[in-house]
Amino acid sequence: MTNSPTLIVMIGLPARGKTYMSKKLTRYLNWIGVPTKVFNLGVYRREAVKSYKSYDFFRHDNEEAMKIRKHCALVALQDVKIYLNEEGGQIAVFDATNTTRERRDLILNFVKENAYKVFFVESVCDDPDVIAANILEVKVSSPDYPEAHRERVMDDFLKRIECYKVTYQPLDPEGYDKDLSFIQVMNVGRRFLVNRVQDYIQSKIVYYLMNIHVHSHSIYLCRHGESDHNMQGRIGGDSELSPRGKQFAAALRGFIEEHGLSDLKVWTSQLRRTIQTAEALGVPYEQWKILNEIDAGVCEEMTYEMIQSTFPEEFALRDQDKYHYRYPGGESYQDLVQRLEPVIMELERQGNVLVVCHQAVMRCLLAYFLDKSADDLPYLKCPLHTVLKLTPVAYGCKVELFYLNVEAVNTHRDRPLVSQPLMTFLPSLASVCSQSVPNCLVLCFSVVAHMKCFPRVFYSHTFDCSPRKLCTFVLS
């Protein structure tokens, strides 16, 4: 997605939400498939100085501390270089105050030497209530203040902020910094100033930062009630609720009433099983087409046994790489993530929301909030007749699970064993090989071209072209 590595540089006084934005932005970029990592300068500083004593460390006239802080910044930038040049990273987020032009010029020289792109994110906040709330929510539990009293933490941290204010040089969009690419976020998103966005990924960053809002809310995720297709083991389709699915819908209404969620917004897909679930709630709901279940293409309304029998190669390929595999004529989980991006943006902006959705859709949404990798995403457990309550907190997400006591079938498929995908090819391979050795060779090469292991061994092998030997080789 990026044609050259990008360094995102945070700017701002302490307690302005820089780490909060860094972590959320990194989670979002990884979710949409852009390898991203945060480099928090506080971590490097705590490695260099094992015990924090007081705000005196951050005084601009503390020469020894200033040397340590600059050294930590240089070490962090070297780690950024390793990540972007050697470890496959595309974006690094340098999470530090970076409040002086001298420090930012050092970073700009580093970027120029390594041919990276750079984008600055400055958080400006002069609302004392927001600052105090941030200190109490995040800094009290900081490693800098083990077992400290709230009053002492607040006093020391406010003095630390004053140390930074002495040398703080905000970005100057009309003068010194007019040629830089950046966004200024004022008072946690009340106002924005965007300057010289250079490429697609920078526009994505701006779009995301303009949509996240720091407010207290919860997101409720659940699947529709059990459907007729669920009971038959079929995927996709547009079937109706089973009797137990209707019981769940009634139980879900009781759950909403019991928890006093009168202001709850309810979203569904445009498929009957989610709509029937929402209709039982007795509240208004919105239908979103982009919340429809993953499109299984030619495999729609088939059971997994039918797919394995009818399309053995497709069945095996999906087990190999479930996230990237695309059903013929359908979608992959990767496609689904791209489709659901507008939903994430809306969830970040809204108050309390209940999303009545589908297994694959719920997995994608959960992976965003829980920071799960693409490899883990397709195997997240999202059982029927269970509600997940997600409450964003300082640097993560609190998860609560509510089972509504209505039985349902288990639609979860565990991650297959490594050797399992190849075994799926054997019936078709044996059948083809019994008819024609050339056809068998074509199928064997087709198999191995899609496998992630041993391709060189396969291609360099000297074959005994009897069908039995070819089957034996593919097995080995």
What phi, psi does 208 have (nearest 5°)?
Answer: -65, -50
Can you tell me which residue has the tokens 């040398």?
167
Is 341 a known ligand-binding residue? no
User: For this structure, is 293 an active site residue?
Assistant: yes
Write down the catalytic residue from 72, 122, 125, 156. Answer: 125
Residue 133 lies in a domain: yes
Residue length of the chain: 476
Structural domain of 232: 219-403
Residues 16 and 147 in one domain: yes
Residue 418 lies in a domain: no
Report the distance separating Cα 128 and Cα 110, nearest Å. 35
Q: Give residue 1's pLDDT.
A: 64
Residues 392 and 447 in one domain: no
Residues 23 and 112 in one domain: yes
Residues 321 and 388 in one domain: yes
- Give the residue from 209, 240, 255 where a domain finishes: 209
Residues 93 and 236 in one domain: no
Q: Give residue 438's pLDDT.
A: 46
DSSP letter for each residue of 18-80: HHHHHHHHHHHHHHTT--EEEEEHHHHHHHHSSS---GGGG-TT-HHHHHHHHHHHHHHHHHH
Residues 330 and 465 in one domain: no
Is 218 a known ligand-binding residue? no
**Domain CATH number, residue 173:** 3.40.50.300
Residue 231 lies in a domain: yes
Beta-strand pair 182-186/191-195: antiparallel
User: For this structure, is 95 an active site residue?
Assistant: yes
Residues 161 and 199 in one domain: yes
Residues 14 and 86 in one domain: yes
pLDDT tens, the chain, 476 aa long: 667 999 999 999 999 999 999 999 999 999 999 999 999 999 999 999 988 888 999 999 999 999 999 999 999 999 999 999 999 999 999 999 999 999 999 999 999 999 999 999 999 999 999 898 888 877 766 788 876 678 888 899 999 999 999 999 999 999 999 999 999 999 989 999 999 999 999 999 999 999 987 778 999 999 999 999 999 999 999 999 999 999 999 999 999 999 999 889 999 999 999 999 999 999 999 999 999 999 999 999 999 999 999 999 999 999 999 999 999 999 999 999 999 999 999 999 889 999 999 999 999 999 999 999 999 999 999 999 999 999 988 788 999 999 999 999 999 999 998 644 444 445 554 444 445 444 444 444 444 444 333 332 333 333 344 333 333 333 33
Is 230 a known ligand-binding residue? yes
Write down the catalytic residue from 122, 156, 224, 440. Answer: 224
Residues 16 and 156 in one domain: yes
Q: In the numeric block, which tokens belong to residue 295?
A: 């499109």
Residues 468 and 322 in one domain: no
Residues 446 and 348 in one domain: no
Residue 1 lies in a domain: no
- Give the residue from 209, 230, 255 where a domain finishes: 209
Residue 415 lies in a domain: no
As for how many domains the chain has, the answer is 3
Residues 203 and 228 in one domain: no
Residue 409 lies in a domain: no
Is 331 a known ligand-binding residue? no
Is 62 a known ligand-binding residue? no
Q: Is 467:431 a contact under the CB 8 Å cutoff?
A: no
State the pTM of this model.
Answer: 0.86
Is 238 a known ligand-binding residue? no
Q: Report the alpha-carbon angle 421-423-427, nearest 5.
A: 125
Residue 205 lies in a domain: yes
Residue 23 lies in a domain: yes
**Domain CATH number, residue 376:** 3.40.50.1240
Q: Give residue 145's pLDDT.
A: 83
Write down the catalytic residue from 122, 144, 177, 293. Answer: 293
